[in-house]
Amino acid sequence: MDINIETVQGNTSVTILHPHGRIDGSNYQVLIDQGNRLYQAGTRHLVIDLADVSFLSSAGLVALHKLVLIMSGQKVEEQQDGWHALGAIEHDAEAGPQGFVKLLNPQPKVANTLQMAGMDAFFETFTDTAAAVASF
């Protein structure tokens, strides 16, 4: 998976990640590591453009959830993977939308995965970059 990064200025500075390819067990940690680097560099608002993501596995769901934890300043432990992570996702999704990470242009297959996991209630999803950036 390749990831392009851009920073735009809206009401606040927003970083947009553009991952390309699949997000699955073979590469989800790359997305998490990128989120950690961005947070350390000062990013607090993140848009993830899923237009070029063809597949999102349960590991990809874990990565998206961890990005929210990272951007909210919470410590993320590696042992929070697996069933523990999926339980945490379900718990947090029940709380409703969070305000740190927004999603942009998920392909239908990816949108379906988010819906089946209940994460569509956890993430605000946009089809317009300007609207996603302005939502912060």
CATH code assigned at 14: 3.30.750.24
Q: What is the DSSP letter of 133?
A: H
Cβ contact 6:21 at 8 Å: no
- Please give the chain's pLDDT, 136 residues, in tens: 899 999 999 899 999 999 999 999 999 999 999 999 999 999 999 999 999 999 999 999 999 999 999 999 988 766 555 555 655 666 566 666 889 999 999 999 999 999 998 889 889 999 999 999 999 9
User: What is the total count of domains within the chain?
Assistant: 1
Cβ contact 119:63 at 8 Å: no
pTM as predicted? 0.89
